[in-house]
Structure 1
């Protein structure tokens, strides 16, 4: 299979981009440097905050700022583009119109994987920024797969936002048990079949194996798709 270069628009946030890069390396079946993926990473940290522009109705600020990134990746020869930020996928259609290079749809690929495992009428929890939830991208996606999205109550959502913005983005140490407790509550108390980890900042937090089994990390889905579409195998395929 032809080996293709992967373009990455990162910086949303920088730590999440670093974790994405590490995960691609860790999950690519490779025994030497030359067997890994060629990647062009744009760590565009000055992009406007996605949650802020969505909630304020100023999405054009984000779109205007990101447009040049697609041109740079086209010139660099990227065959596919990965954007490790769930909230940005609210603008997926507009972003795809900016480039001829296919953008991997992190949201749709995640829901496709969930539907394949849990089927119709599944109840799916979500942990994400308020921007992602209010954008409706996961809700609409769930409906298209005949699944129901279960959004956290106000108290849980406030806690999730605190973890994302005041802990991970602030580079503070996070207690994984807090995130694990939220996921367990959504599954065992509120009846969700599984919980989507739908914020790449939350993907930076290592959770235990038991909690991983009742959740699906959208970043990991993006990692796997990035590897496969670049003509490589993931370690799970071996």
Structure 2
């Protein structure tokens, strides 16, 4: 989890530790750690999952969650309450951001399959109740971002899910996972829309940093792993061939 900026707090050099709205803030000489371990343990206790078998991942690979005509409904209020608490937990846990976004898509009509997916998240939290989000001084305020998207991953309506995260000064500051509003006809278009969303986040962060007195002079690096989407975004000549995504 180090690629997300996770690290266990070194309490030998801790100056202070405070709780704010369920978030534990621990500060050492050169670092700041955010954790919600107590919140996780309370959540596991309230749901009776303290003694559950830990899971290695928060969701099974290539899951088939969707809307089916023969699905067995479950207690709606309970499901909404659990997902709501997980949404709050994802404030410091980007490792569950994607699966929580998937679970939140079925709030209106949950089934037993969806509640089983939520229980899988809780089992994963049991395996790692504490994941400290690390912020440290790296001697710079460079801004960079990364984006990715699947292609037609939703089995119900074949929409894609995009995700991006950004770093300021080498520290993870924002992350996002969301199902796209349209159905792309190619992998490149799905990735291109992901780039557009990530660039909006980058522009907002540049504006925010300038507002608080840290104006960035150089260009911001933004990474995408799809060459076709990169060429579309980087070559204005090709924009005439992509008027259907001109809004991006």
TM-score, length of structure 1 as denominator length: 0.25
User: Higher strand share goes to which structure?
Assistant: 2
Larger % of helix: which? 1
Q: TM-score, normalised by structure 2?
A: 0.24
